[in-house]
Amino acid sequence: MVKAATAARRRRLTAAAFLAPFLVLFVVAMVAPVGYTIWMSLFREQSNGGLGFGGAERVFVGLDNYVRAVSDRGFRSGFANLAIYCVIYIPLMLGGALALALLLDTALVRARRFFQLALFLPHAVPGLIAAIIWLYLYTPGLSPIVDLLADGGLAWNFFDPDTVVISVVNMAAWQWTGYNVIIFYAALQAVPREVLEASAIDGAGSVTTALRVKVPMIRSAVVLTTLFTVVGSIQLFTEPRVVQLKAQGMDSAWSPVLYIYRAAFTEHDYGLAAAASLLLAGLAGGLSYAVTKFGNRTRKGALA
């Protein structure tokens, strides 16, 4: 009895010891920064000049930073750009990925491994480098695409501030479509064969089977990828930051994270940056909740 008790105690201690390194880092890299952001968002830091942290004065301002952020046109237009981006990017990328995965899963296609690898290849390229490659492919004189379009009578300026969102969407879609194809395809592989056979016996064609049987069965994969895509999209930074190198007239706070970056590191307005960060994190949380809720609503017989 005593022996069993000490064994259980030892196991609890082991669990604590195994969890400790991660939990310490989790607190340092996630919990503490969130707490500090909340605290910072309630103060206004009046920094003296460029570099002096020491000379900064901190004044409690309550929710004023939030009010300033929300009433700032730059912040709102950043959100407007982000909204347009999301509305184009998320359905296009996820819909495209789903369609490609379903196509790969039909009997129509050969050389599946080759296609999977080719589609996934862009994901092996770091996001910044992907953005840089596309930046060149958008640059007249350097890019074969711009010339090709011009020859075809479609002179397109990828750096036009009004339509630059399309250039940004393309960069992101190139990187992420293949990744999601692989996830969907893997989930499709797990759909039990009997179900598909039953569907075929019932006389369903491959399109009907795909939409009515396969898609509902991989619902959990769709919900999960939507979740990750939404959270990732909200943090849009690298692609517009790189396009900005060429697109004159593009707002320096084109996306919310660019706004936060500018507020923090150009204007040294940490309170404003913190408030904006929390608003953004709140949006991410809210949307994640909505996606999960909506995704789970009619999901009963799906995989656990």
Partner 1 sequence: MSVRTAPATPSAPAARPAGPRRLPGRPGRRPGRDRRRSGGRPRTPLLSRAVANSLLIVVTFYMVAPITWLVVAGTKSTEDLFGRPGFEFGEFNLFGNIAAVWQWDGGAYPRWYLNSVVYSLFGSLAGTFISMLAGYAFDKYDFRGKEKLFGFVLAGVLLPATVMALPMYLLFSKVGLVNTYWAVLIPGLAHPFGVYLARVFSQGYVPAEVLEAARMDGAGELRIFFRVALPMLAPGFVTIFLFSFTTSWNNFFLPMVMLSDHELYPVTLGLFTWNTVAAQSPEFYRLAITGSLLAIVPLIVAFVMLQRFWRSGLTAGAVK
Sign of the Cα pseudo-torsion (184, 190, 193, 196, in order): negative
**Between 20 and 87, CB nearer to partner 1:** 20
**Between 21 and 153, CB nearer to partner 1:** 21
Residue 109 interacts with partner 1 (CB under 8 A)? yes
Tokens of 203: 């006389």
Query: CA 285, CA 278: separation in Å to the nearest integer?
Result: 10
Residue 196 interacts with partner 1 (CB under 8 A)? yes
Is the CB of residue 62 less than 8 Å from the CB of residue 42? yes
Bridge partners of 58?
A: 45
Is the CB of residue 178 less than 8 Å from the CB of residue 96? no
- First vs last Cα of the chain: how many Å apart? 38
- Chain-centroid distance, C-alpha 77: 19
Residue 234 interacts with partner 1 (CB under 8 A)? yes
Residue 192 interacts with partner 1 (CB under 8 A)? yes
Among 9, 26, 150, 202, binds partner 1 (CB under 8 A): 26
| Contacts to partner 1 from residues 243-302, by CB under 8 A | 245-246, 257, 260-261, 264-265, 270, 273-274, 277-278, 280-281, 284-285, 288
Is the CB of residue 166 less than 8 Å from the CB of residue 250? no
Binding segment toward partner 1, per CB under 8 A, in 57-65, 75-83, 141-149, 160-168: 141-149
Closest CA to 168 of 76, 95, 245, 70: 245
Binding segment toward partner 1, per CB under 8 A, in 67-75, 85-93, 194-202, 293-301: 194-202
Residue 36 interacts with partner 1 (CB under 8 A)? yes
Closest CA to 166 of 51, 250, 280, 107: 250
CB of 254 to partner 1, least distance (A): 14
CB of 281 to partner 1, least distance (A): 5
| Contacts to partner 1 from residues 111-130, by CB under 8 A | 112, 115, 117-130
Closest CA to 301 of 202, 236, 196, 220: 220
Site track for partner 1 across 157-176, x = CB under 8 A: -----------------x--
Among 6, 52, 53, 59, binds partner 1 (CB under 8 A): 53
| Contacts to partner 1 from residues 81-100, by CB under 8 A | 100
CB of 192 to partner 1, least distance (A): 4
Closest CA to 217 of 113, 105, 112, 87: 105
